[in-house]
Amino acid sequence: MILIVNVCSEKLHYYEFVKPIEDILKEDFFVKHYSELNDSDLVRADRVIICGTSLGDDSFLKDLEKFNWIKNFDKPLLGICAGFQILGLVFGGELKKKLEIGFFRETFEKEFLGLEGDVEVYHLHNNYVEFGGEFEIFAGKSFPQAVRFRGKDFYGVLFHPEVRQKEMILRFVGK
Amino acid sequence: MKLGILFSGGKDSTLAVWIAKKEGYELGCLISVVSRNKESFMFHVPSIKSVVAQADVMGVPLILKETTGVREKELIDLDIAIEEARDRFGIEGVVTGAVCSVYQASRVQKICNKLGLECFNPLWQKDQVELLRELIAEKFEVIVVGVAAYPLDEKFLGREVDSEFINEMVRLKEKFDINPAGEGGEFESFVLDCPLFERGLEVKSFEDFGEGNSWRREIETE
């Protein structure tokens, strides 16, 4: 069972940032808002996807202590945009400002959940994270766009794969 | 939160309004841009002036702006219209009916970000057949008012978006790779009735323009 973590503070953003992930997975998932997560959810989950949210919604940044469970989590996790930022910040990364909206071409130096070489991705973010050395960077010449935690199946992408890289999400969940 | 809706009068923007309303958001105003360019990349064109009647039966104020429709210049006009909506009606966010057009969605995102407004795209990445079926489930009465792709032709103008229409679009998708909900601009629609309207609209008269596989219907409603 895949746990989809909703980080949106507005109900209407669910349709834009969470439902597309549900539609890709189609089955075997459950959705919880980060503020309502409990231990049994994390036990029940085989994998976790932390979704993104809108440019104007950064309330999750004020609630980072609610993501401390990630430090001890030992199952696969994928952070998308906001989820990418959360993953980095929980492990001591530094938040930096950078606005990117629309299609951008990113180069994957090594294979990352099926992505390799030049890939056109959809960006919608105000921030990125400077990751610590425990993360390996797979894409991003100026700043990290795709990372993996060394020794764990924790992945993070600053872009939104639900727009043009749906197969990357399916690869993560083993479909 | 009070919202402004980028409203074309077609199925997508109207369904987006309905979702926002169902989720408890306040509808501050509709924002419609009339493009003089019939090939606009950004805006729905056929029967756009009938949004006045739709706004009336919805009981929601309408900001109606005209643009020359020159690519990118029309975005400046949209920017001005959204800024007016923010200043006149105190909207805090904008709703669009964008489904898969990154061109449209990213440009509205940039405008909203600049103006300090939230941007909501409740149909984003939605399966197009699911979208059409949701219209029927929610009792939307929708007709086709424009076509722009083979093999769609003038015979599609005025057709109701019903189960038969959906089945036909699914067949055309398999054969001609047409987006079943018209997201590639294959067809344009107009909503005559839906749960947001105090009463349904009727087509009083219409005029068709076009040739081959490119047609639009300009309707007058009552």
* Residue found by looking up tokens 């009552």 in the block: B222
Q: What is the C-alpha to C-alpha distance for residues A167 and B61, in angstroms, rounded to an integer? A: 43
Whether the CA torsion B6, B11, B16, B21 is positive or negative: it is: positive
Percent above pLDDT 70 for chain B: 95
* Residue found by looking up tokens 């975005």 in the block: B75
- E strands of chain B, at which residues? 2-6, 26-35, 62-67, 93-95, 118-120, 141-148, 187-193, 203-211, 214-221
From the list A15, A55, A103, the residue facing B19 with the nearest CB is A15
- What tokens appear for B116 in the block? 């300090």
Q: What is the mean pLDDT of residues B5-25?
A: 96
* Residue found by looking up tokens 């083993």 in the block: A174
Res A16 pLDDT > 80: yes
| Predicted confidence (pLDDT) per residue in A59-118, tens digit | 999 999 999 999 999 999 999 999 999 999 999 999 999 999 999 999 999 999 999 999
A81 is catalytic: yes
Instruction: Give me the CATH number covering residue A104.
Output: 3.40.50.880
From the list B1, B120, B125, the residue facing A20 with the nearest CB is B125
Percent above pLDDT 90 for chain B: 68
Residues of chain B found within 8 Å of residue A10, distances taken between Cβ atoms: 1, 93, 118, 120
A13 is catalytic: no
CA distance to A72, B33, B45, B107, B173, per residue, from B68 (Å): 57, 10, 12, 17, 33
CA-based nearest residue to B184, from B150, B140, B156, B215: B150
- A18, A86 contact by CB (below 8 A): no
Confidence (pLDDT) at A20? 98
8 Å CB contact of A11 and B24: yes
Look up the ipTM and state it.
0.94
Kindly state the DSSP code that residue B181 receives in the 8-state scheme: T
For residue A155, give its domain range: 2-172
Confidence (pLDDT) at B150? 84
Other Cβ atoms within 10 Å of A46 Cβ, number? 12
CA distance to A89, A94, A158, B23, B161, per residue, from A61 (Å): 9, 12, 15, 25, 44
CA distance to A104, A120, B125, B183, per residue, from B142 (Å): 36, 35, 21, 16
8 Å CB contact of A55 and B102: no
Q: Which of A8, A22, A81, A106 is labelled catalytic?
A: A81
Angle of CA points A148, B109, A102, to nearest 5°: 45
Residues contacting residue B143 through CB under 8 Å, at least 6 positions apart: B158, B159, B160, B161, B189, B190, B192, B203
8 Å CB contact of B112 and A15: no
Q: What is the mean pLDDT of residues B48-55?
A: 88
Domain total of chain A = 1
Concatenating the DSSP letter of every residue in A15-49 gives HHHTHHHHHHH-SSEEEEEGGG--HHHHHH-SEEE
B157 confidence band (pLDDT: 50, 70, 90) = very high
- A37 CA: distance to closest CA in chain B (Å): 22
* Residue found by looking up tokens 């019939």 in the block: B38
Q: What is the C-alpha to C-alpha distance for residues A118 and A121, in angstroms, rounded to an integer? A: 10
Q: What is the C-alpha to C-alpha distance for residues A59 and B48, in angstroms, rounded to an integer? A: 38
Chain A interface, Cβ < 8 Å to B: 10-13, 15-16, 19-20, 23, 54-57, 99, 101-103, 122, 124, 162-163
- What tokens appear for A95 in the block? 């938040």
Domains of chain B: 2-120 (3.40.50.620), 142-221 (3.90.1490.10)
| Predicted confidence (pLDDT) per residue in B61-91, tens digit | 999 998 887 777 888 999 999 999 999 999 9
8 Å CB contact of A163 and B122: no
Confidence (pLDDT) at B183? 80
